[in-house]
Amino acid sequence: MATKKKSVRKVAVKARARAVPTAAKFQRPEEVEHWIKREVAAQERIYRGIVREMNALNDRRIKWVKEFYQRLQTRGFSVHAGIRRKVRPEEIPPVPKRIRVVF
Amino acid sequence: MARRHIEPFVDRDVPFKKMTLPGFKRGMNYKMLSIDKDSGACTMTVQLEGGYKQPPSISMSDVEILSMKGTFMLGDQACTPGYYTFIPRGVSIPSISTARGCEMLLMYNDREPNMIESDQDATGAKRSGLVATNSYDDMPWQVPNLFPATEPGCMIKVLRMDEETQALSFLYCMVPGFWQDNISFHDCAEEAYHIWGTSWMMQFGNLPTGGYFWRPPYINHGAFASEHGVLAFGRTDGTLHNHFHFHAHTEPDENQKKVGKKLAKQSPDLFRWVMTQGHNHPDFLHGHGPDWVHSHDHGGPHSHDHEHAHQHGHEHAHDHGKDRKK
């Protein structure tokens, strides 16, 4: 029991010595820097994969856009909550050949 | 841009990795969903193995947790799926343990995952900002009170709103058969994780269970649909306003300009006042104005997270940092 109390006190002392940091920059240990670099590199690979997949989806997306533009003229554009407005044919934008979706 | 545009990403496609950062105990595994390359702030799916235990601790980052599978104990509190907590940086949380294992979303908002053993708050920690709720059992679904709003059938439970930035953490759902025929973008970054169900967006196709996105501001998304319904967790890093339109080809810079134009129409007095301060560097952003407009706290970590330049009759610019903090 005495040992437990001692360890709690030790932890508490550790806490008192710390304050919420006041600067946006922190000194990180090297292993933490490495971890972040690894994760950022992995994220870049994922990002490039997403860009490839989304580019490959372009033809289907263009078909979806055509269907969407059709629905705007029949069912209507969702303006707010359940309020819809039928869009006039002259308001419909031209369908592009490619649409970039990841930035 | 501090975090990449990650959309769509499905965490079920990747395996868990062992957490090796200092301070974390053995038995914690993670999948990285998105990470800020500068600060290390990140969102992860985390799995705690059965028998995992960690002592009372503090983090030097704001932390958010959403329990998704299994049960873990936070001190004496049993945290079942739907349990959500926001822990301000420096606030001590009780020990965490799980007998049979669990899964959660774990978000570090200011810096990389870090944990320091402590049963006391750090000096200056804001315990009053602690949020803890069982979002599945204790909160009703609400119709979003945004103008303009989503189509009926998309509902929300707001788990936390930042008083200063109006950043939101929330659960949302779409009923089976949900459909919304517009394209949306926001002035803020938006993040979401599908706890259950599949939704479709005209730009990205289907996002299934385990689907995730981190989307920077002004990026088109929608039309939307969900055949069987969706339960999801979402966050923004600022005020969530829906800008609806139907031009499928527009890119973020065009959308941002449209918003500037809209602001001039919708809030002409505000727009004129901001634009006629002598230069485009309003004093109130930098502490020279009245207190009620200068609301950020210089006692804690902060940065002027925006890029800007101003003119004084000669060419120069300075940079107050990068994008938003999350």
Q: Which residue of A has its CA nearest to B325?
A: A24
**Which residue has tokens 């490495």?**
A34
Structure confidence at residue B299 (pLDDT) = 45
| d(CA A44, nearest CA chain B) in Å | 8
Average pLDDT over residues A80-87: 97
Q: Quote the DSSP letter at residue B277.
A: S
Whether A102 and B4 have beta carbons less than 8 Å apart is answered as no
Cβ separation of A20 and B56 shorter than 8 Å?
Answer: no
Q: How many CB pairs under 8 A join A and B?
A: 170
Distance between CA A4 and CA B24 in Å, rounded?
A: 21
Picking from A31, A93, A101, the nearest residue to B247 by CB comes out as A93
Tokens 């759902």, residue located: B173
Sign, CA dihedral B90-B94-B99-B103, equals: negative
In order of their start, the domains of chain B are 6-138 (2.60.120.10), 154-263 (2.60.120.10)
Asked if the Cβ–Cβ distance from A15 to B122 is below 8 Å, we say yes
Q: Residue B323: phi, psi to the nearest 5? A: -70, -165
pLDDT in tens, A58-80: 999 999 999 999 999 999 999 99
What is the least distance, in Å, from the CA of B119 to any CA of chain A? 6
- Classified as helix, coil or strand, A27 is coil
DSSP, collapsed to helix, strand or coil, labels residue B303 as coil
Number of CB atoms found within 10 A of residue B241's CB: 17
Inter-chain residue contact B122 with A68, CB threshold 8 Å = no
Determine which of A9, A36, A62 to mutate to test the interface with B (most B C-beta atoms within 10 Å): A36
User: What pLDDT is attached to residue B287?
Assistant: 55
CB nearest A78 (choices: B89, B124, B180): B180
pLDDT digits 0-9 by tens, A26-54: 688 999 999 999 999 999 999 999 999 99
CA–CA dist A43, A61 (Å, integer): 25
**A81, B8: Cβ pair inside 8 Å?**
no
Contact list in A for residue B219 (CB cut-off 8 A) is: 101, 103
CA distance A38 to B114: 16
CA distance A17 to chain B (A): 8
Q: β-pairing, B17-18 with B6-10?
A: unpaired
Interchain contact, B4 vs A47, CB within 8 Å = yes
Q: What is the model's pLDDT at position B181?
A: 98
Q: What is the pLDDT of residue B275?
A: 81
> Cα–Cα distance between B173 and B153 in angstroms, integer?
8
pTM equals: 0.85
User: Do B246 and A87 make contact, defined as CB atoms within 8 angstroms?
Assistant: yes
Interface test with A, best of B1, B3, B4, B185 (most A CBs within 10 A): B4
- pLDDT in 10s for each residue of chain B, 326 residues: 489 999 999 999 999 999 999 999 999 999 999 999 999 999 999 999 999 999 999 999 999 999 999 999 999 999 999 999 999 999 999 999 999 999 999 999 999 999 999 999 999 999 999 999 999 999 999 999 889 999 999 999 999 999 999 999 999 999 999 999 999 999 999 999 999 999 999 999 999 999 999 999 999 999 999 999 999 999 999 999 999 999 999 999 999 999 999 888 989 998 888 887 665 666 666 655 444 444 444 444 444 444 444 444 444 444 444 445 55
CA distance B127 to B105: 22
Is the separation of the CB atoms in B108 and B114 below 8 Å?
yes
Task: State the virtual CA torsion across B217, B222, B225, B226 in degrees, nearest 10.
Answer: -20
What pLDDT score does B318 carry?
A: 46
Q: What is the DSSP pairing of strand B178-180 with strand B243-245?
A: unpaired
Distance from CA of A46 to the nearest CA of B (A): 8
Q: Do A79 and B37 touch (CB under 8 A)?
A: no
The length of chain A in residues reads 103
AA identity, residue B40: G
Residue with tokens 């999350």: B326
Give the pLDDT of residue B295: 44
Give the pLDDT confidence of A6-20 residue by residue, as tens digits. Answer: 454 444 445 455 666
Alpha carbon of A56: minimum distance to chain B alpha carbons (Å)? 11
